Amino acid sequence: MAKVAFIGLGTMGYPMAGHLVKAGHEVCVYNRTLSKAEQWVSQYGQHLALTPAAAAEGAEFVMTCVGNDQDLRQVTLGEEGVIHTLGRDAVLIDHTTASAAIARELDAACREQGAGFLDAPVSGGQAGAENGALGIMVGGDDATFARGEPIMQAYAKAIKHLGEAGNGQLTKMVNQICIAGLLQGLAEATHFLKRAGLEGEAVFDVIQHGAAGSWQMSNRHQTMLNDQYDFGFAVDWMRKDLSLVLDEARRNGARLPVTALVDQFYADVQEMGGGRWDTSSPLKRLEP
What is the DSSP code string of 29-65? EE-SSHHHHHHHHHHH--EE-SSHHHHHTT-SEEEE-
**pTM, full prediction:** 0.94
- What's the chain's Rg over C-alpha atoms? 20
Q: Mind listing the pLDDT tens digit for each residue in 46-89?
A: 999 999 999 999 999 999 999 999 999 999 999 999 999 999 99
Looking at residue 232, its pLDDT comes to 80
Q: Looking at the domain that runs over 170-286, which CATH code has it been given?
A: 1.10.1040.10
Q: Which amino acid belongs to residue 278?
A: D
Is 172's pLDDT higher than 90? yes
Per domain, the residue ranges of the chain are 3-163, 170-286
Is 36's pLDDT higher than 80? yes
Q: Looking at the domain that runs over 3-163, which CATH code has it been given?
A: 3.40.50.720
Sheet holding 47-48, edge to edge: 47-48, 26-30, 3-7, 61-64, 91-94, 116-119
Using CA atoms, how far apart are residues 33 and 192, in angstroms rounded to an integer?
44
Report the DSSP pairing between strands 3-7 and 134-138: unpaired
Mean pLDDT of the chain: 97
Residues identified as active-site: 172
Looking at residue 195, its pLDDT comes to 97
Neighbouring C-beta atoms of residue 167, cutoff 10 Å? 19
Nearest to 75 by CA among 152, 8, 122: 8
Looking at residue 135, its pLDDT comes to 97
